[in-house]
Structure 1
Amino acid sequence: MSVRESIASARRIVVKIGSSAITTLEGGLELDRLNALVDACEARMRAGSDVVVVSSGAVGAGISPLGLKKRPQDLATKQAAASVGQLAMAQAWSTSFARHNRVVGQVLLTADDIARRAQHRNAQRTLDRLRSLRAVAVVNENDTVATTELRFGDNDRLAALVAHLVGADALVLLSDVDGLYDGDPRKGGATIIREVAGPDDLDGVVAGTGGALGTGGMASKLSAARLAADSGVPVLLAAAADADSALSTAAVGTVFAARPGRMSARKFWVRHAADTNGSLQLDDGAVAAVVGKRRSLLAAGITRIEGRFYGGDVVDIIDKDGAKVARGVVAFDSSELSAMLGRSSTDLPAELRRPVIHADDLVAHLR
């Protein structure tokens, strides 16, 4: 089965709607555009798929009502705009889906909700329960409370995380661009890339940052597509104006092939979602063992620790030059580990002879 066929036949799908697809700087929410996107989602659901919507646009929807002339740059004004816009967005999505007798549940997340394992599982249960009750989950970053330290950075990455969170079979990113190009299509001479089978297909591709209303841009979409594809979820990047085709035949835009096999939820959380609370520097032999051979990390291979962490925290693993090569869930507090550095297991008390990071809790850095 081709990548496009797998997306077209996916039973569970996450659809991310970009800010520019449903808002304008002058008029705020564009209800006609939103209704058209809802109609496309409804058609996909009637065809038998579960759909979760990840919607940008809260800040954009609040700009016009507050009399602002452009997207705010400071955090306080962004959060004020989001507080107005989120209310308008929730009402608009609810009213539009009500035309099809669908109930909408709003789910607001922060990076902390994904980074912390307990909140991660709770968000997963909420989304699963909404779907089982036949309600449409509309997810957005909780801009009104997120700080610069807790932000996802953009809703493209949030959509990729949600796709793994709900066990989606496909992710569709809809915005004002119709696919991935090998250059800036606005400057002419750029060629659209119809399929990305792997990292080699992205050699020479230049991706720009966000526009007037959004925080993403092609760079964030490309990063999100790689994140989702790495976790085993195929991705379609297309224009919101082509939503009907994107959500039916998937014959438009650019597709990103998924890596073979879906990464376990725990390893995905460790690699992409969890915050790190320190780092462990390894000698060359230990790097070769844990990265090349996927072995558990033992204290003998650790040359230095940085940061304060506790057993169960996620830490970065770095080589002798300081480059991040992996991350994993550490079994010991930093205070315990400092006395174990470089010591073989036979030199340690019996209760300390377990791996510092078990192979099952260790993932290589995504390059």
Structure 2
Amino acid sequence: MYKRIVIKIGTKVIASPDRNLDKDIVKDLASQAAAVINNGSEVIMVTSGAIGAGLSLLNIKKRPRDISDLQATAAIGQNYLMRLYGEFFKKAGYLTGQILLTQEDFDDRTRFLNIRHTIDRLLRHKAVPIINENDTVATEEIRCGDNDRLSSLVADLSGADKLIILTDVDGLLDEDGSVIGYVDDITPRIAKLAVKSRCDLGTGGMSTKLEAARLAMRAGIECVIANGKERNVLTRMLIKGDRLGTIFKSGARRFIAKKRWIAYSSKPKGALFIDKGAKDAIFKNKSLLASGIVSVEGDFVACDVIKIIDDEKKEIARGIANYSSRELAEIKGLKTAKFKEALGREGPDEVVHKNNLVILENHSCPN
């Protein structure tokens, strides 16, 4: 039995053939999730469907292109969607708690940890967290695949041991159209099987789901992509133990939680270009010093996550900067003894401390 499970519900799963929100499907999924909780697991829901619900309520046939119209549609739909989840879970004996997130919540370490604490407290009170992208304020985030990625980020930060992504297909299909039952590594062949898609109601495709599965696997979380319209899909998988959809094997956690946050959850605000000597040093598990920095890109402040680019223009690492981009423009290439003269103050010897630096995958070097 899995202790904590994140269930992501795609827009097309809860849409009826006439493109309206299907209340019966929402009710059924809530009932199944409640049964899983009764069986001893904790459940966190990541749901799409706010924009689709809003389109239905407003009787709009096509997804708006204007961002303000899209955000207003999401605001109307989100309220209705939460009312349904609240009503159906209450009938099963559980309260719900709404959490709306944007990428900024994951970029800030304090906010990131606050999300985790809130989820933990909701679960302690036997309430079901219902999470969605905050489409009413986000702009860049209203794009293909956000809630697929969001579900994997939530699974990692909450310490889940299972991520289930429910969609409108039976799983990842091979070249002959048959479901691939088990994937232990997302190879180039597997990645090519994903087909990007877009519709007026939803914004995801198999490629975004594969990326979510990849993030989950890196965090040591088993992921399943399955058909949400399959009868009793949740109870069959999580109570009876049936194998449905495509199972993505959990990998060994390569990084501790903070370093996974640096590498995968936060979005870099800038980049540091370094010379070969600095590259060799960080590959030997040393900190990044200003003397090895060739140039600075972007506008960021101290404590932001930044990319580290080597002398071959390849991103090799990410880390938390101890200085702002303006300060680094003044001290790049300098020895630590020159910092006070350049900045008018003393500061840390390290631009990125080794404890806050992550060597990315595909680079065989220590961490």
TM-score (norm 1): 0.89
- Matched position secondary structure for 2:269: strand
- How far apart are 1:348 and its partner, in Å? 6.0
Question: Matched residues, percent identical?
Answer: 39
Write the distance in 2 (CA, Å) between the matches of 1:64 and 1:208: 27
For residues 90-149 of structure 1, what are the alpha-carbon distances to aligned partners after superposition, in whole Å with 9 as ceiling and x for unaligned? 111011112211111111112212222222122222111111111111111111111126
Write the distance in 1 (CA, Å) between the matches of 2:29 and 2:142: 29
User: After alignment, is 336-345 or 357-366 more displaced?
Assistant: 336-345
What is residue 194 of structure 1 aligned with on the other side? Answer: 181
Write the distance in 1 (CA, Å) between the matches of 2:5 and 2:181: 20
| Contact 1:110–1:152 under 8 Å retained in 2 | no
- How far apart are 1:173 and its partner, in Å? 0.6
- Matched position secondary structure for 1:294: coil
| Contact 1:59–1:81 under 8 Å retained in 2 | yes
What is residue 111 of structure 1 aligned with on the other side? Answer: 103
What is residue 210 of structure 1 aligned with on the other side? Answer: 197
2:303 is the alignment partner of 1:316: no
Paired letter, 1:217? G
Aligned ranges 1:134-149 → 2 under 5 Å: 134-148=126-140
For residues 173-217 of structure 1, what are the alpha-carbon distances to aligned partners after superposition, in whole Å with 9 as ceiling and x for unaligned? 11112111234xxxxx23322222123374563312234221111
User: After alignment, is 166-175 or 207-216 more displaced?
Assistant: 207-216
2:216 is the alignment partner of 1:228: yes
2:97 is the alignment partner of 1:70: no
| Contact 2:218–2:253 under 8 Å retained in 1 | no
| Contact 2:148–2:204 under 8 Å retained in 1 | yes
**Structure 1, unaligned runs of 5 or more:** 1-8, 184-188
| Contact 1:181–1:205 under 8 Å retained in 2 | no
What is residue 16 of structure 2 aligned with on the other side? Answer: 24
2:354 is the alignment partner of 1:359: yes
Choose the corresponding residue for 1:164, options 156, 160, 164: 156
What is residue 92 of structure 1 aligned with on the other side? Answer: 84
User: After alignment, is 189-198 or 136-145 more displaced?
Assistant: 189-198
Distance 1:113 1:125, change over 3 A: same
- Matched position secondary structure for 2:294: strand
- How far apart are 1:21 and its partner, in Å? 0.8
- How far apart are 1:54 and its partner, in Å? 0.5
Write the distance in 2 (CA, Å) between the matches of 1:116 and 1:150: 20
- How far apart are 1:276 and its partner, in Å? 2.2
What is residue 365 of structure 2 aligned with on the other side? Answer: none
User: After alignment, is 103-112 or 269-278 more displaced?
Assistant: 269-278
- How far apart are 1:152 and its partner, in Å? 8.7
Write the distance in 1 (CA, Å) between the matches of 2:348 and 2:248: 43
Write the distance in 1 (CA, Å) between the matches of 2:51 and 2:137: 13
Distance 1:131 1:310, change over 3 A: same
Distance 1:332 1:250, change over 3 A: farther
Write the distance in 1 (CA, Å) between the matches of 2:48 and 2:242: 22
| Contact 2:135–2:142 under 8 Å retained in 1 | no
TM-score (norm 2): 0.89
2:272 is the alignment partner of 1:272: no
What is residue 75 of structure 2 aligned with on the other side? Answer: 83
For residues 45-77 of structure 1, what are the alpha-carbon distances to aligned partners after superposition, in whole Å with 9 as ceiling and x for unaligned? 111000000010011111122111133333222
User: After alignment, is 246-255 or 40-49 more displaced?
Assistant: 246-255
Aligned ranges 1:7-46 → 2 under 5 Å: 9-24=1-16, 26-46=18-38
Write the distance in 2 (CA, Å) between the matches of 1:327 and 1:320: 15
Aligned ranges 1:280-359 → 2 under 5 Å: 280-290=272-282, 292-345=283-336, 351-352=346-347, 354-359=349-354
User: After alignment, is 351-360 or 233-242 more displaced?
Assistant: 351-360
For residues 288-326 of structure 1, what are the alpha-carbon distances to aligned partners after superposition, in whole Å with 9 as ceiling and x for unaligned? 332x43332122221111223222111111122332221
**Structure 2, unaligned runs of 5 or more:** 363-367
Paired letter, 2:323? F
Aligned-residue Cα RMSD (Å) equals 2.3
Write the distance in 2 (CA, Å) between the matches of 1:27 and 1:308: 43
Paired letter, 1:208? V
Distance 1:134 1:353, change over 3 A: closer
Distance 1:352 1:98, change over 3 A: closer
Distance 1:118 1:207, change over 3 A: same
Number of corresponding residues = 353
Paired letter, 1:310? V
